[in-house]
Chains A and B, each alone.
Chain A
Amino acid sequence: MLELTRITAGYDRRDPVVRDVSLHVGAGEAVGLLGPSGCGKSTLAKVAALLHRPDAGTMTLDGTVIRGWRHRAPREQRTAVGVVFQQPRLSADPRLSLRELIAQPLRSTGRRRDVPERVAELARSVGLSDELLDRRPHAVSDGQLQRACLARALVLRPRLLICDEMTAMLDASTTAALVAVVERYRAASGAALLAVGHDRVLLERWCDRTVRWDERETEKGPAGPVTAGGGLRPPAAPR
């Protein structure tokens, strides 16, 4: 599904945050990428979500090599990937109602006719009432806003979902609820998952396998599935 091969990426070419990293997510597979904060795993998640152009390396999505990056990858591939970030307040446009927030990707891809039905369906699945859908981000809780962000990530029926610390700010019950939404969607659609985070207990419970960031970085050479390690070594210190 997703093949990242020897990716180098960052915000300063002389000092990349991600150096020569390879990662493989199979079709329908749920992979957890585990690492301390500041290690670069979020940057790698942005590359995988086609939101950040790597400086080196290749990336294959569903067998197609991603080319033609300018600032962002071509739309067709971008819409195949859904992404949820840690801080809903930073990623959600404060001027939009939750309803508009969820619908926006559908509108901008020209599938307007499906909008009301699809939004209603997703709102049901993430547990947002009609009344909440009409509110704007400032009038809902972090958990409610994150539910909307997840619905938005699913609205185009992505084949790959990327969750970057999706639940780091949330309480245990909301965390379990959002994970259940993701897993219901994956069971129905066969979509793959890359869950990035620092909570080992959570990712091991959620994913088919977990990969530790420190192991990723030592992995050089051609692409290949990287298997989970013992998982007991302490993670590398943040750089």
Chain B
Amino acid sequence: MINKSQMNSLGQSLLNFWRSSIGKKLIVAVTGIILVGFLLAHMAGNLLVFQGREPMNDYAYFLHHFLHGAGIWLFRLVLLGAFVLHIVTTICLVRENRAAREERYACEATVKASGSSKIMIWSGLTVLGFVIFHIFHFTVRVDPDLAAMKDPLDPSRHDVYGMVIAGFQNPLVVLFYIIAVTLLCSHLRHGVASLFQTLGFRSEKTRVAIGYLGIAIAIILWLGFLSIPSLVTFGLLEDKGAAIEHSSHSTASLLKC
């Protein structure tokens, strides 16, 4: 039983919140919202690749320079915080959940759990592996060829447009992207609907809409993210500028002046 003296300390309340099952679930849901919000923005930004080299590279330049370059670090900090908290909390939950049902049924069956809901930890851990790969691929740029690419229109800045297309020339890389993003979307097909339940918004009135929202977000992200590597693989998205880079370079810089 809770009495008033126990209720008084703020520290105790926060500790109780972390220790409680619902408290941890709420942390997963809120960090999940932050991550989904990021994914939607990130996908929208990526789609600028279809607008061509200049809009894409302008956008990348903006990201790296808003608030005098502090903006992106602030953004990365919040994102990293949410990501780490999400992972630590979910791993904690999964361990508690396995302990709560230590003895399994000899005959296992489910009546309504969705496939994606059963593999949340595995889809999540694949995403974790993918995120690490993805950061080395396009953010840290461990491949010196990708790191050295300069915008032919403005050689003082990095050519993000060219890098994305060059980065997807390897079919194995593309295959990994397809598998990881598909599992990410499976994660969100359950996760998005689930977070509304965790936050207490699911009811008879909202149930159906929330279910469709989860599916819709998963489909939008799947199509949006995978359109780029697959179109590059099928040769439908080519870096035409790269081929004419040398001849057009002077005209481009002339045009700039």
Asked if chains A and B come from one complex, the reply is: no
Interface residues of A (CB under 8 A from B): none
Interface residues of B (CB under 8 A from A): none
